[in-house]
Structure 1
Amino acid sequence: MSKKGSVFGNLRQLDGYAKTLDDFRVKTTTGASVTLISALIILSLVCSELIAYTTSTWRPSLVVDKSRKEKMPINFNITFPHMPCHILNIDIMDDTGEHSSGYSQDITKVRLDLSGREIELGESVTLGDPSKGVNKALQSKKECGSCYGATPLRDSKCCNTCQEVREAYVKMGWGMVNVDVIDQCIAEGWKDRVEKQSNEGCNIYGHLLVNKVRGNFHFAPGDAFQANNMHVHDLKEFVKGAPDGHKFDLSHTIHKLKFGPDAKDETETILAVTDALAGTEKNANQARVVYQYFLKIVSTQLRPIKGIPTFTNQYSVTQNDNFMKETATGLPGVFFNMDISPMQITYKETRKSLGSFLTGVLAIIGGVFTVAGLLDRVVYRAEKAYKKKVEMGKTL
């Protein structure tokens, strides 16, 4: 044998896949059954591996919230079926000392009849916009209306509508004006309009922009003003009730309350509980009730594989209803008390790599065939031993 042949001969000794002679190849029914079963198992496992490869997963992590200095938007939609729009007001307070009474920017009130339908005459009245729902009787005469001793709120230094006089009085802390003696209120028929709207409800929606600190915003009856460094609401009209004698109450339905933008798709909605109070309904059996919602708000970031990250807030809520006695002091209303968490939850979308997928597929094929081969060998030897015993007549 040549030197070259001896080298290849020695190399053959390293073959880990020695070939069986054709004379020794035996095909059995059991082997075929094991082969079919193992093929089905491999097919099902490879399909599950493919599904896992094409399906992304969201992994949460907890980090410190670095956006505490930013403003937080609040989107809401709430219906008060037994409260006229002109009585209902929004106030915002927080621990920084910022206080906004009668907040009206980007807020819309819609008058509703007792069956919950929008009233055509009222349409949608945007608060803080005197051009809607208010008849400027004095302005049509191009006169400068008096504020009756109060400091005007507008740059024009005039109070040309009843609402402007009322707002000026509230900001001065003087309480409410007597609409029977104010020329603007008389010219606009304010008293008649208020009496006509007494048998109505109100749907109020819009968005607020607040500091990301502990605080609250609330819906309460009557205009708010400061008196002796105290936050006070004029409840005379609320306590007195409607001209026909029926009482107002703070029954309400929360259609939406979200802190941040709406989720872009269903996946984000499932991940983050951003509207925990949606569908909440409260029915009051008396006027003086304090509804309190204690909200624990956590900043949330959703980081998809493709696309722009989404920043929102999810929250949990604890509720408390306090029914006050007629002689008790306190402000009836619907209060949302906010507690902002210093942490942020980040959901990151991940997907298996191609290398991991191929490794899994090869492991499945190799593992199943190895186990199937061992099983087939055991069964084959058992059958062979049994047949030998039968031939020798040693079976029972």
Structure 2
Amino acid sequence: MRRLTKKKALNLVKELDAFPKIPDSYVESTASGGTAFTFMALLAFLEFFVYRDTWMKYEYEVDKDFTSKLRINIDITVAMKCQYIGADVLDLAETMVASDGLEYEPVNFELSPLQRIWQLTLWHIQERLRVEHSLQDVLFKSALNIAPPSAIKNDDSSAPLNACRIHGHLYVNKVAGNFHITVGKSIPHPRGHAHLAALVSHDSFNFSHRINHLSFGEMIPGIISTLDGTEKVSTESNHMFQYFITIVPTKLNTYKITADTHQYSVTERERVINHAAGSHGVSGIFMKYDISSLMIRVTEQHMPLWQFLVRLCGIVGGIFSTTGMLHGMVGFLVDIICCRFKMGIYRNFKVSVVLLTDYALL
């Protein structure tokens, strides 16, 4: 056996390759491969935005808190002078809550242009909330510190102070009750309570009002309650406005805020008091509220990292598998069409077959 020289042995080792070679077609740059990679990168980029987004989870349970007090946040403007009206709360247990936490501020009932812009903005938001319920989730997550319309003062100092803004908060028992604003200041009474309305002339009655803000529970920035921005204008002096409110305790837990608050739904009713026509009652603004036995727990949730990675792997693997199947199917159809109509590489296929046949006969 002839011995190999050192140089030949080195060349033989270099040429020796025990690993299989990748076909050249696998490393060629194709338009389909670039399209698949671009589509895969786009889906992965969009999936990252889904991972960064959060959503609100709603859970329902029985409210077991019966001992705590309920806070009522009030900001209402009535088109009567402050000395003519009084506000208080009477609950189902015949307990009258003093209105020491409320302030009576003489104001002008007409809004300034800037205040009117706030009012129209609130109306627009309330209208959209009735249609797009998911906007409430956006308000929960945003926690924007939005000032109410009443916080903007009217710069017109010459305007008459013909209205009274009642604002503040009260703590009441967690039972059904009635918050009302009517003629005369309230006084205690052995059988309930009464209002000194005899000294007020009927000509000064005007219960046109604007609810700047009404909420229950802890004040939360950015939350717009159902009655915020409500405005009622009456042309009659004896008019009764009624709001039947159902309060739902809500525990809110987001990445920006954690609070115990309350949501509510409302049914409105109003009528003119005319004893001669059989419409009896007391003129004023009455808000009768009741508390639901169910509690809503609203929690902001986020996609976990492991789920994002699994979804990302699914996107990459799914695109590779799908594009591979589509590429094979399209290639198979192209081969059939080209073979049938003698196109492409199949154009000279018949001539080659004839030449091979003649060569075999020879």
TM-score normalised by length of structure 2: 0.70
| Aligned residue type for 2:325 | L
Contact 1:93–1:215 (8 Å) recurs in 2: yes
Instruction: Indicate yes or no: 2:284 matched with 1:333.
Output: yes
| Aligned residue type for 1:42 | M
Q: Could you tell me how far apart the structure 1 residues matched to 2:301 and 2:200 are?
A: 55
Q: Summarize the alignment of residues 237-276 of structure 1 with structure 2, pairs less than 5 Å apart.
A: 237-241=199-203, 247-264=204-221, 266=222, 269=223, 275-276=225-226
Q: Aligned to 1:235, which of 197, 200, 213? A: 197
| Aligned residue type for 2:310 | T
Q: Summarize the alignment of residues 160-179 of structure 1 with structure 2, pairs less than 5 Å apart.
A: none
1:378–1:284: structure 2 CA closer, same or farther, 3 Å change rule?
Answer: same
Contact 1:109–1:202 (8 Å) recurs in 2: yes
Q: Summarize the alignment of residues 202-217 of structure 1 with structure 2, pairs less than 5 Å apart.
A: 202-217=164-179
Q: Could you tell me how far apart the structure 1 residues matched to 2:289 and 2:50 are?
A: 40
3-state SS in 1 of match to 2:237: coil
Most deviating of 251-260 and 378-387: 378-387
1:386 Cα shift? 3.2
1:282 Cα shift? 0.8
Instruction: Indicate yes or no: 2:352 matched with 1:367.
Output: no
Q: 1:55 — aligned with what?
A: 53
Q: Could you tell me how far apart the structure 2 residues matched to 1:358 and 1:99 are?
A: 59
Q: Aligned to 1:220, which of 182, 191, 196? A: 182
Q: Summarize the alignment of residues 296-307 of structure 1 with structure 2, pairs less than 5 Å apart.
A: 296-304=246-254, 306=255
Instruction: Indicate yes or no: 2:266 matched with 1:288.
Output: no
Q: Could you tell me how far apart the structure 2 residues matched to 1:64 and 1:19 are?
A: 68
Q: Could you tell me how far apart the structure 1 residues matched to 2:110 and 2:314 are?
A: 66
Q: 1:94 — aligned with what?
A: 91
Identity of matched residues, %: 28
1:19 Cα shift? 5.7
Q: Could you tell me how far apart the structure 2 residues matched to 1:257 and 1:37 are?
A: 56
Contact 2:96–2:193 (8 Å) recurs in 1: no
Partner deviation per Cα, 1:151-209 (whole Å, 9 max, x = no partner): xxxxxxxxxxxxxxxxxxxxxxxxxxxxxxxxxxxxxxxxxxxxxxx972111111111
Partner deviation per Cα, 1:21-71 (whole Å, 9 max, x = no partner): 536x3788xx82322222222122212221121112111000111223210
Q: 1:173 — aligned with what?
A: none
Aligned residues: 278
| Aligned residue type for 2:205 | F
Q: Could you tell me how far apart the structure 1 residues matched to 2:45 and 2:77 are?
A: 50
Contact 2:184–2:200 (8 Å) recurs in 1: yes
Contact 1:75–1:256 (8 Å) recurs in 2: yes
| Aligned residue type for 1:293 | Y
Contact 1:116–1:201 (8 Å) recurs in 2: no
1:388–1:107: structure 2 CA closer, same or farther, 3 Å change rule?
Answer: same
Q: Could you tell me how far apart the structure 2 residues matched to 1:325 and 1:263 are?
A: 41
1:367–1:203: structure 2 CA closer, same or farther, 3 Å change rule?
Answer: same
Q: Could you tell me how far apart the structure 1 residues matched to 2:244 and 2:294 are?
A: 18
Instruction: Indicate yes or no: 2:36 matched with 1:41.
Output: no
Q: 1:22 — aligned with what?
A: 23
3-state SS in 2 of match to 1:281: strand
Partner deviation per Cα, 1:107-127 (whole Å, 9 max, x = no partner): 11111246568xxxxxxxxxx
Q: 1:322 — aligned with what?
A: 271
1:347–1:19: structure 2 CA closer, same or farther, 3 Å change rule?
Answer: farther
Partner deviation per Cα, 1:285-332 (whole Å, 9 max, x = no partner): 11211110000100001123x566311000011000021115565321
Higher helix share: 2
Q: Could you tell me how far apart the structure 1 residues matched to 2:20 and 2:56 are?
A: 49
Q: Could you tell me how far apart the structure 2 residues matched to 1:220 and 1:285 are?
A: 17
Q: Summarize the alignment of residues 77-92 of structure 1 with structure 2, pairs less than 5 Å apart.
A: 77-81=75-79, 83-92=80-89
| Aligned residue type for 2:261 | T
1:64–1:227: structure 2 CA closer, same or farther, 3 Å change rule?
Answer: closer
Instruction: Indicate yes or no: 2:315 matched with 1:353.
Output: no
1:352–1:301: structure 2 CA closer, same or farther, 3 Å change rule?
Answer: same
Q: 2:106 — aligned with what?
A: 111
3-state SS in 2 of match to 1:249: coil
Contact 1:298–1:340 (8 Å) recurs in 2: yes
1:383 Cα shift? 2.3
Contact 2:77–2:109 (8 Å) recurs in 1: no
Contact 1:288–1:326 (8 Å) recurs in 2: no
Q: Could you tell me how far apart the structure 1 residues matched to 2:236 and 2:26 are?
A: 90
Contact 1:80–1:201 (8 Å) recurs in 2: yes
Q: 1:201 — aligned with what?
A: 163
* Superposition CA RMSD, Å: 2.7
TM-score normalised by length of structure 1: 0.64
Alignment gaps of 5+ in structure 2? 1-18, 113-159, 351-362
